[in-house]
């Protein structure tokens, strides 16, 4: 590889920081009945951690396989597992959690899916890492860290224990 290795932040530390940032967000925005929803797979691990540290009673897991916009290019992801959301998300304040925010397409798909489950009061977006390269007008409310990488490179979160970021 020709590009110099980008130093990646410690995922565990970012997770802790996000946890206290979310706590503050819930207070500041007066979020009623907040519900964390993590996007499979990395976002779900992260959301699970955050749920524990924030001591929230429920957790939602979103699998966006049926909502992707690249079906005609790639077909269906073979590991589609389905979503697991609470019975009702009506009037809930959703905090959507993903590991790496890039083009914004995943978030668009996730929001489309959420609205098929009901009408939440609000959605806030939390991401462990923001690597730019946006293709849609989508921004996170809270990010662990923002970094710039070579467009050919991909960032991967491995987990769930411990959470670790790697670049490839």
Partner 1 sequence: MTRHSDPTQVQLTADGRLKHFLTTEGLSKDLLTEILDLADSFISTQERAVKKVPLLRGKTVVNLFFENSTRTRSTFELAAKRLSADILNLDIARSATSKGETLMDTLWNLEAMYSDMFVVRHADSGAAHFIAEQVTPGVAIINAGDGRHAHPTQAMLDMLTIRRHKGTLEGQTVAIVGDILHSRVARSQIHALHTLGAKEIRVIGPATLVPKEMEELGAKIYFDMEQGLADVDVVIMLRLQKERMSDALLPSEGEYFKLYGLTEAKLTLAKPDAIVMHPGPINRGVEIDSAVADGDQSVILNQVSYGIAVRMAVMAMAMSGQAAEQAAQKNESQETTGDDA
Binding site for partner 1 (CB under 8 A): 63, 66-67, 71-76, 78, 80-84, 112-113, 115-118
| C-beta of 113 vs 130, nearer to partner 1 | 113
Q: DSSP 3-state assignment of 10?
A: coil
Q: Sheet containing 34-39: which strands, arranged edge to edge?
A: 59-62, 34-39, 93-101, 122-130, 142-146
Provide the minimum distance between the beta carbon of 3 and partner 1 in the complex, in angstroms, as a whole number: 26
Q: Which is nearer to partner 1, 55 or 72 (CB)?
A: 72
Nearest-approach distance from CB 72 to partner 1, in angstroms: 5
User: Counting beta carbons within 10 angstroms of the beta carbon of residue 157, is it exposed (0 to 12), middle (13 to 18) or buried (19 or more)?
Assistant: buried
Q: How far is the CB of 51 from partner 1 (least distance, A)?
A: 20
3-state secondary structure (DSSP) of residue 113: helix
Q: Which two tokens stand for residue 154?
A: 């991909």
Helix (H, G, I), strand (E, B) or coil at 136: coil
Nearer to partner 1, 30 or 73 (CB): 73
Check: CB of residue 77 under 8 Å from CB of residue 64.
no
Nearer to partner 1 by C-beta: 8 or 66?
A: 66
- Minimum Å distance from CB 149 to partner 1? 25
Q: Which is nearer to partner 1, 28 or 87 (CB)?
A: 87
d(CA 145, CA 60): 24
Strands (E), 47-154: 59-62, 93-101, 122-130, 142-146
């Amino acid at each position: 590889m020709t590009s110099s290795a980008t130093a990646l932040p410690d995922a565990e530390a970012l997770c802790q920081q996000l946890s206290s940032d979310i706590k503050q967000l819930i207070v500041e925005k007066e979020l009623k009945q907040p519900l964390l929803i993590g996007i499979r797979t990395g976002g779900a691990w992260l959301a699970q951690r955050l749920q524990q540290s924030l001591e929230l009673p429920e957790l939602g897991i979103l699998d966006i396989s049926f909502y992707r916009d690249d079906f005609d290019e790639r077909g269906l992801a073979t590991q589609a597992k389905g979503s697991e959301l609470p019975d009702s998300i009506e009037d809930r304040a959703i905090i959507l959690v993903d590991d790496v925010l890039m083009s914004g397409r995943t978030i668009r798909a996730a929001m489309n899916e959420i609205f098929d489950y009901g009408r939440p009061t609000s959605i806030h977006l939390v991401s462990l890492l923001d690597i730019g390269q946006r293709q849609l007008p989508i921004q996170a409310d809270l990010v662990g860290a923002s970094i710039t990488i070579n467009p050919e490179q991909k960032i991967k979160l491995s987990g769930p224990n411990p959470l670790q970021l790697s670049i490839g």
